[in-house]
Structure 1
Amino acid sequence: MTKVSATVNPREQKKGNAYLYLVCLVAALGGFLFGFDTAVISGTVSLVKHDFGLNAVSEGWFVSCALLGCIIGVSCSGKLSDKYGRKIVLIISAILFLVSALGCMLSGSFTILILFRLIGGLGIGVASMVSPLYISEFSPSRFRGMMVSLYQLALTTGIVLAYFSNAYLASHAPNALDTSMSKILSTELWRGMLGLGAVPAGIFLICLILVPESPRWLLLKGKIQSATSVLIKIDGTEAAQKEIDAFTVLKGNTDEGSLKELFTPVYRRALWIGLLLPFLSQVSGINAVIYYGPRILEQAGFTLNNALGGQVTIGLVNVVFTFVAIFTIDKWGRRPLLFAGVGGAVFSLIIIGILFALGITSGLWILIFILAFIACFAFSFGPICWVVVGEIFPNAIRGKAVALATLSLWIGNFLVGQLTPVMLEGLGASWTFWLFALCCSPALWLTWKLIPETKGRSLENIEAYWKETH
């Protein structure tokens, strides 16, 4: 085992912190692309429907086909990232995003457009799993919550910028001229909206080439020298040695682990957390509220202008309150933020249902509680789900386990997307929101009974905790 003894001076520590932020921001670009690609579709649906003469089934397939790619991407990314490394799989996701954006922009038929939407879905699925995993493994324990929360911040920023870019292109498209660029930016505006994603995808790809591999993956593969070099650059030699020593104590061997370990008594609690927390974050109705929220806000008379409207308002609140998690998660801890955020979300959903039941669907009150729900989600469920899922699983199978947890999130996402219109029609808005509150509330029990406080703990310490307490 490599020994390192010297400590770093404050200047070197400051340089290490800057390096940490820079690398984590690069990885967080995966979240930005996830958010951008998911949200940009909202501005293209009516345009694509018109240009290709879509019926209701084809329109639904255009919107939802990326979800199939997401599920496939998540299912493959865990095993691939454990075997070949986090960095190479992130590079694959960047290539998928780039190919999808350019392919959608240049597609000559609806079938080709769907093909490239599926490719984009693969990129979303891979990035939604590997980006927060990489950040979690790369970050020192005292910064890990903040760094992983950057992923959620990037995701929400991507959503907002997609709304802004759609609005900008729609309002600044040039007059129709007989040129290819004019066709993209005016007569077939959706091509520009979808193609714009190639810019951040290209930046993501170039930056990923320059970042190192996850040090914990390097340790798992027995590449001690390479891991030591990265850890020293991040946090100094003394901290690097502690990380390596802790890893060595826990590591029985460097063989690839099996998901069967999660079903043993030692990790069963971690498995329940990993499956339930992401699922509950989706069945809280966040996507339904984001989807129907703009219409509610516009009915309430709250529009920034004709181009932006309620969608950007909700998106901005989502971004702003994510900063609450970034600045407090490593000070207050994961559990306090979850209790406060989930409790606030349940209360807001109940009040929204009451307002619908009373017919108060315009004015200030509906606005307040829609935005309150978004704010509560943004500083709790949104970022903390990714933080906790990236922390709780053992080193040897973290990639596969995080993929399983992320798949649970996408299943919840799918169910809400499919059932919300049915519930709104069959149950009405009041009971729909009350049902979301009911589905969201078990997260309070989960936080109280199962989720340990992981603030300030190394990943190896958390792994040891499961072995000590099972």
Structure 2
Amino acid sequence: MKKHKSLYIVLITLVATLGGLLFGYDTAVISGAEGSLQTYFADNLDLSSLVHGLTVSSALIGCIIGGLFSGYFSTKFGRKYSLILAALLFLFSAIGSAYPELLFFTAGEPSYALLVMFNIYRIIGGMGVGLASAVAPMYIGEIAPSHLRGRLVSLNQFAIIFGMLVVYFVNWGIARGQTMEWVNEVGWRFMFASEAIPAILFLLLLFTVPETPRYLVSQNKNDEAFNILSKIYDKTMAKATLYEINNSFDSKKGKLFSFGATVVVVGILLSVFQQFVGINVALYYAPRIFESMGAARDASMFQTIIMGLVNVIFTIIAILTVDKFGRKPLLIIGSIGMTVGMFGVAGLAFSNTIGIATLIFIIIYTASFMMSWGPIVWVLISEIFPNKIRGQAVAIAVAAQWAANYFISSTYPMMMEFSGGLTYGFYGVMSILSAIFVWKFVPETKGKSLEQLEMRLRRDQSEKSSAS
């Protein structure tokens, strides 16, 4: 008998990764609607570029809230029911963002109050993203065997990128052949409403998957945990894994810094660097970047699809190599590629050279991110924290990630008004610093069980205490 039952694990993982798909869908749907929102709200109400940037990025406020509360929900109600809540938030946001006039306002009459209502619906969707972004990789990491964990958690990033690619096609399909007047009045509503379809599918499928064995052990439900482990491993391996999990919960109190501050700080900085390299600027504002290169509106959306396909291809490369080459080498290689891409774009911006070279450097940059910092950070965040603090530590790391995302995304329009070259140069410098950080501080986690990683962390803590 095989020591693990791959088909069962993969099917569970695929359901959980729908949370990642909705994460990608919700965050990227704004790229197609961003120009229309400027026309509908900012231009009609004479709002500044800063207010528009805050509107485009408003979902990220919800992401921060969802990330912060993910620890509470995942610990109190479990990983599975936290994902069910995220699905409901996605669904509600899709309907409300598409028709913010619902109940309180007149359709087609933009106002400051309507803008606030739109942002509230986007924040609700962001709360779903924040929850899913923390809990989906945690769920997969707690279900997966150690030798498949990197690959399976990376599938969540693939789902995020695939969700972005799907919505790029949806946005392009909605806008294709239509007048700009129609897109600005009606088309953007269809873009937001389309998210309801994957949200409903995610909600229904979540009722078919189990809770994670590690959460069940934390609730003293050992029999249920063993039943699930028996579906993943043979009985001998299931008993050994259950024993390891129980020992990890007995070893420490569940205070955040029970295992020292270093592991928490590393998790936070991984999250912050993932955003400070500027990836979401490329994702949220992609059509506008391509329009600045001289592309028409529908052509710019098509170029965004090309970028989305590149993202998918290089995420697959990460999935195939993360358990073979390890986490650290991929992160450092990715940082080098991102540095080349961003400094290339910065140099072209300084020289006022806009053209195909800009597209090439953006593709180099995004491809480098997608084969490294995109998926690998989520893998590491699901791995490095011990069982007893995982829920709260992941929540803090993910909240920090979304706070960094919000800062970078909302300041982009204002920074670009000051200097495009300096803006992209800043992201290039962050890419260099990210490589140095990984080289110096990030541990390699390839091939070890979550409990083995915890034992190593505890041993390092003990050695530091003895040395002091």
Please indicate, yes or no, whether the TM-score normalized by the shorter chain is above 0.5: yes
Match in the other structure for 2:27: 38
Tell me if 1:460 matches 2:451: yes
1:357 to 350, 363, 367: 350
SS in 1 for 2:145: coil
Distance apart, 1:88 and its partner CA: 0.8
State whether residues 87 and 208 of structure 1, in contact with CA within 8 Å, keep that contact through their aligned partners in structure 2.
Answer: yes
Confirm or deny that 1:78 pairs with 2:78: no
Aligned to 2:387: 395
Q: Deviations over 1:169-199 (max 9, x none)?
A: 223779x9xxxxxx9x996233222111111
Task: Report the equivalent of 2:167.
Answer: 162
Question: What's the secondary structure of 2:211's corresponding residue?
Answer: coil
Residues 306 and 288 of structure 1, relative CA distance in 2, 3 Å threshold: closer
Change (3 A) 1:50 1:362: closer
Q: For 1:255-278, what per-residue CA distance to the aligned partner results, in whole angstroms no more than 9, with x for missing partners?
A: 7x22242xxxx4322112101011
Higher mean C-alpha displacement, 196-205 vs 118-127: 118-127
**Partner residue of 2:109?**
none
Distance 2:100 2:358 in 1: 42
Partner SS for 1:210 = coil
Cα distance change on mapping 1:425 and 1:304 into 2, 3 Å: closer
Superposed CA RMSD in Å reads 2.7
Mapping of residues 322-361 of structure 1, within 5 Å: 322-361=315-354
Deviation at 1:37, TM superposition (A): 1.1
Q: Do structure 1's residue 147 and structure 2's residue 152 form an aligned pair?
A: yes
The aligned counterpart of 1:203 is 201
Instruction: Please give the residue correspondences for 1:53-452 in structure 2 after superposition, counting only pairs within 5 Å.
Output: 53-56=44-47, 59-60=52-53, 62-108=55-101, 109=105, 110=114, 111-171=116-176, 188-252=186-250, 257-261=254-258, 266-291=259-284, 293-297=286-290, 306=299, 308-363=301-356, 365-426=357-418, 428-452=419-443
Cα deviation, 1:289-329, whole Å, max 9, x if unaligned, reads: 33455455456678997373322122221111000111110
> CA distance change for structure 1 residues 345 and 353 in 2, over 3 Å: closer, same or farther?
same
Bigger shift: residues 140-149 or 303-312: 303-312
Between the aligned partners of 1:316 and 1:234, the Cα distance in structure 2 is 33
Gaps of 5+ in 2: 106-113, 462-468
Q: Take 1:320 and 1:469, find their aligned partners in 2: how far apart are those partners?
A: 38
Seq. identity, %: 39
Distance, in Å, in 1 between the alignment partners of 2:210 and 2:454 is 24
Relative to structure 1, the CA distance from residue 422 to residue 119 in structure 2 (aligned partners, 3 Å threshold; closer, same or farther) is closer
1:296/1:361 contact within 8 Å kept: no
1:212 alignment partner, SS class:
coil
Deviation (angstroms), 1:113: 3.4
Moved more, 233-242 or 144-153: 233-242
- CA distance, structure 2, for counterparts of residue 154 and residue 219 of structure 1: 28
Stretch moving more, 397-406 or 448-457:
448-457
Q: Whole-Å Cα distance in 2 between the matches of residues 106 and 469 of structure 1? A: 54
**Is contact 1:221–1:254 with CA below 8 Å preserved after alignment?**
no
- In the alignment, structure 1 segments of 5+ residues that lack a partner are 1-8, 177-182
Distance 1:190 1:344, change over 3 A: closer
Shift of 1:244: 1.4
Q: Structure 2: how far apart are the matches of 1:237 and 1:419?
A: 54
- After superposition, the Cα gap between the structure-2 partners of 1:60 and 1:332, relative to the gap in structure 1 and judged at 3 Å, is closer
- Tell me the alpha carbon deviations over residues 124-158 of structure 1, each in whole angstroms, 9 at most, x when there is no partner: 11111111111111111111111111111111111
Distance, in Å, in 2 between the alignment partners of 1:102 and 1:288 is 25
In 2, Cα distance between the equivalents of 1:207 and 1:414?
Answer: 31
CA distance in 2, matches of 1:355, 1:47: 28
Name the CA shift for 1:50/1:250 in 2 (closer, same or farther; >3 Å).
closer
Any conservation in 2 of the 1:299–1:362 contact (CA below 8 Å)? no
